[in-house]
Amino acid sequence: MSRLVIISNRLPVTINKKDGELFYYPSAGGLATGLSSMDKSIEQLWIGWPGGNIEDKKEKKEIKDQLANDGLVPVFLSEKDIELYYEGFSNKVVWPHFHYFTQFTNYNNHSYWSAYERVNNKFMEVLKEHLRDDDVVWVHDYQLMLLPALIRTFNPNTEIGFFLHIPFPSYEIFRTLPWREELLEGLLGADQIGFHTYDYMRHFLSAAYRIAGFEHNFGKINVGQRIVNVDVFPMGIDYEKYAFPERYLDGEHFENTISRLTSKGRKLILSIDRLDYTKGIPQRIKAFEKFIKKNPQYHGKVTLLLIVVPSRSKVDQYQELKNEVDTLVGKVDGQFRTFGWSPIQYFYRSFPFQELTAIYKAADIALITPLRDGMNLVAKEFVASKEVSKKGVLILSEMAGASNELTDALIVNPRDITDMEEALEKAMEMSLEEQAERLTKMQHRLKKYTVKHWAETFLTELSQMSVLKSSNEINELNEDSKFQLLSDYKNAKNRLILLDYDGTLVSFKPEPHLAKPDAEVLALLEGLRDSEANKLVIISGRDKDTLGDWLGHLDLEMSAEHGVWRFQKSNWELAHGITNSWKKDIRPVLEAMVERTPGSFIEEKDYSIAWHYRKIDKALGEKRIREFRDVLLYLTANLDLQVLEGNKVVEVKNSGVNKGNATLKWVNSSDWDFILAIGDDNTDEDIFKALPDFGYSIKVGRDKTAAKYSLFGVKKVRALLKELVEIKVT
Ligand code: GDG
């Protein structure tokens, strides 16, 4: 079994130096707690920053040795790295931007960006010292988005997964980042990219398409010769740990904490987050204030336990937020407190796990209302803590990824103070039956989709990608097969060469009339035609007039409109039994498609008619085809026509006419000792299938094909034809 190498910004252990001595603590945060409960039977190595700024060589060595015992490898960051990469690019650019706080995004600090690049490379350098050929590497989160591509360059065969723990913003937001291409390119180095929710996945796919031009098919993106799988993996929790914390803890202390919290018989509303502007803490306090104001009957009977865990205190916005929270708490408390009651109990610190779980158990309501949150594990942990009691209400923001799963919570809009206030009223009044019913449903899900399940699903799907990679392998025309083709060509006396035009000899252009043959392609065709042993045929879906104008002077043979016309001895001949009287019935349907789809257009040929959607969003084009498919099929069935779906085009033409039938006429017209056919489109598959066994068929592109070989791109086709032409010369 392969070894798993986890790479994240922070290690699950944080080092703190006090009075010259090093102390090791478990790191806080969802990622550290989550991954630490993964199956230990798989060999693991975890690479990351242990926190702090360790400069001393002796200390570095000591830390390295100490961590190595637990399979951990430190990446040491300098003071500058921490300032520019961690506090800078990660937390002042990516974090606010991806959480839709663009007013806090620093768009113009290039030293942040260079540090981000430099530190991603630093992680790479450490990985290089440890990476084995069969390792599976799993990179985590927004601080390391360049790493997948760096690993890919270093070792193209490494299996690489990437998981983003925060939201991926909509394309409209993402596009405004100056480093958008670089970040996409970095991420697309992975074999698999995972997100917490379908929305984040959808946003990513849209950005990859609109910014970098990569299309996807059910979440699978073709990047060069690789497939990148993009999918949703909602992260779970270690359920048992929160459901039965007493099993892991000193029971007495645990019970004491609970009884201290519940001694006054007041309802306890819990709010717990890192101090962060994404968490909606001020709005939450305002909602509580409104609730207290509106419901005097609860005075003295309810407490908001407001726990704010210090975080990123060096970033300006966090200091401002701290002041705002302090002021708001003071205001509400000052306004409503009595000698025996304080409406808010405010803690600006973190709690050990033991106390945290006791707090979860003691709380009656959890008020978790982030303005944006990738997932939010606290919500899940609170629900799990009610496994035994079945008492408690979760009020959850619709902007937290967790709201997609915890649909039995009271879901609120975190910017709507009234909505949150009303949810508090509802929670206070909710019957025990309803609480139990809602909790049971959510617990059922959380028990099943634990963090272990999350990691296993991600890694299983990643390993299936490598199976897919090998089963999907395309038989590329490599040096050996090309050598055979060239030598067969050289030895042959009677050769047939069938070439498609668009996408094969010339690249696609936004409009068909722009794809005129250039000097290079004309010279290649002349070169091939000039060999006496060659019969050169252009076999295309284009109309005969365009082909005639562009290539008629070359004195070669042609087939136009997928076999409707045949050009021989400077003369166009129509295939038998073909009519075009049906066009008047089909045209209005295609015109309706154009009307509904700005940017699409009709191409009318003598005996066929096509609707192109090359210039518009592929998804919109495909949606339109789905809408009109039934009408088209109904009409064409009655008129003995066929509907062909090509590369961003739908074409209607007489049935029984296709490139395959056209090909057979040439194939049967002589006793060839060499046949070569090259094409890129679905319609060219008919050509490949019509060739005798000894024929060479080459598909241009990466799709599944009946052709013997594949070549990637027009440039490569031209290079091959050039070699054929040169054989004639020598
Ligand atoms: C990211 C995304 C996503 C909190 N306070 C204390 C404490 N915690 C523990 C909780 C929980 C974890 O920290 C917080 O998890 P979150 O999910 O809320 O958020 P982050 O870790 O900041 O961030 C987030 C997550 O990654 C996972 O993908 O859900 O959306 O932003 O486990 O229990 N633990 C202790 N004392 C505390 O005071 N011991």
Q: How many CB atoms lie within 10 A of CB 263?
A: 9
pLDDT band at 647 (very low <50, low <70, confident <90, very high): confident
Residue among 674, 676, 609, 671 nearest 644 (CA): 609
Q: Give the per-residue pLDDT at 659.
A: 93
Q: What is the DSSP letter of 534?
A: E
Closest atom of ligand 1 to 33 CA is 32
| Residue to mutate (ligand 1; options 278, 378, 446; most atoms within 8 A of CB) | 378
The tens digit of pLDDT for each residue in 41-64 reads 778 999 999 998 888 899 999 999
> Percent of the chain scored above 90 by pLDDT?
72
Domain residue limits, the chain:
4-232, 239-448, 474-577+657-730, 579-656
**pLDDT for the residue 473:** 63
Architecture of domain 4-232: 3-Layer(aba) Sandwich (3.40)
Q: With a 6 A CB cut-off, is 276 part of the ligand 1 pocket? A: no
Q: Residue 615: which residues within 8 A CB-CB, separation 6 or more?
A: 510, 511, 599, 600, 601
Does the structure show a pLDDT above 60 at 230? yes
The Cβ of residue 579 has, within 10 Å, a number of other Cβ atoms equal to: 11
* Closest residue by CA, ligand 1 atom 23: 30
Looking at residue 709, what is its pLDDT? Answer: 95
Task: Judge whether residue 165 has pLDDT over 60.
Answer: yes
Q: Which fold has domain 239-448?
A: Rossmann fold (3.40.50)
Q: Is the CB of 371 inside a 6 Å radius of any atom of ligand 1?
A: no
Q: Is 381 in the pocket of ligand 1 (CB under 6 A)?
A: yes
pLDDT of residue 399: 98
Whether residue 18 has pLDDT greater than 90: no
In angstroms, rounded to a whole number, what is the distance separating the alpha carbons of residues 245 and 237? 13
- Using an 8 Å Cβ cutoff, are 369 and 191 in contact? no
Sign of the CA dihedral running 357, 359, 365, 367: negative
Separation between Cα atoms, residue 93 and residue 496, nearest integer Å: 60
User: What's the pLDDT tens digit per position in 330-350?
Assistant: 999 999 999 999 999 999 998
Q: Has 680 been annotated as catalytic?
A: no
Q: Could you tell which of 271, 375, 403, 449 is best to mutate to test the pocket of ligand 1, judged by most ligand atoms within 8 Å of the CB?
A: 375
- Probe target for ligand 1 pocket from 196, 377, 397, with the most ligand atoms within 8 Å of CB: 377
User: For the ranges 120-124, 156-160, 245-249, 273-277, which has the lowest average pLDDT?
Assistant: 245-249
Is residue 240 helix, strand or coil?
A: helix
The two tokens of residue 23 are 């102390």
Q: What is the pLDDT of residue 366?
A: 98
- Which helix (H) or strand (E) segment holds residue 418: the answer is helix 417-429
- Residue 357 host element (H or E): helix 353-362
Q: What are phi and psi of 567, to 5 degrees?
A: -110, 115
Terminal CA-CA length for the chain: 54
Candidates 238, 364, 500, 684; catalytic one: 500
pLDDT tens, residue by residue, 555-567: 999 999 999 999 9
Distance 707 CA to ligand 1 centre (A): 53
Residue with tokens 């096509």: 610
Ligand 1 centroid vs 334 CA: distance in angstroms?
31
Helix (H) or strand (E) run with residue 394 in it: strand 393-397
Distances (CA, A) of 496 to 353, 669, 675, 686: 77, 10, 5, 16
- Closest by alpha carbon to 361, among 377, 346, 381? 381
For the CA of 272, the nearest atom of ligand 1? 5
Return the CATH number of the domain spanning residue range 579-656: 3.30.70.1020
Q: For CA atoms 195, 196, 197, 200, give the dihedral sign.
A: negative
Q: What is the DSSP string of 645-665?
A: EETTEEEEEETT--HHHHHHH
302-309/344-348 β-pairing: parallel
Query: Is 308 a pocket residue for ligand 1 (Cβ < 6 Å)?
Result: no
- Residue to probe by mutation, ligand 1, list 165, 349, 355, most atoms within 8 Å of CB: 165
Structure confidence at residue 400 (pLDDT): 98
* Ligand 1 centroid, distance to 451 Cα (angstroms): 13
Pairing type for strands 136-140 and 72-74 reads: unpaired
Contact present, 127 and 7 (Cβ < 8 Å): yes
Compute the distance from residue 28 Cα to the ligand 1 centre, in Å. Answer: 7
In three-state form (DSSP H/G/I as H, E/B as E, the rest C), the secondary structure along 42-60 is: CCEEEEEECCCCCCCHHHH
Q: Is the CB of 29 under 6 A from ligand 1?
A: yes
pLDDT of residue 28: 64
For 544-613, the DSSP string reads: HHHHHHHHGGG--EEEEGGGTEEEETTEEEEPTT---TTHHHHHHHHHHHHHHSTT-EEEE-SSEEEEE-
Decide whether any atom of ligand 1 lies within 6 Å of the 695 Cβ.
no
Taken in order 10, 11, 16, 22, is the CA torsion positive or negative? negative
Confidence of residue 471 (pLDDT cuts 50, 70, 90): low
How far from 164 is each of 140, 142, 204, 661, 679, CA to CA, in Å?
A: 6, 6, 11, 51, 40
CATH pick for 474-577+657-730 out of 3.40.50.1000, 3.40.50.300, 3.30.410.40, 3.60.21.10? 3.40.50.1000
pLDDT higher than threshold 60 for residue 198: yes
Shared fold status for 239-448 and 579-656: no
Confidence band for 33, pLDDT divided at 50, 70 and 90: low
**pLDDT per residue over 669-717, tens digit each?**
999 999 999 999 888 999 999 999 999 999 998 777 899 999 988 999 9
Q: How confident is the model at residue 323 (pLDDT cuts 50, 70, 90)?
A: very high
Cα 29 to averaged position of ligand 1 atoms, centre (Å)? 4
Please tell me whether residue 103 adopts helix, strand or coil conformation.
helix
377 lines ligand 1 (CB under 6 A): yes
Tell me, in angstroms, the distance from the centre of ligand 1 to residue 376's CA: 7
Banded pLDDT at 21 (limits 50, 70, 90) = confident
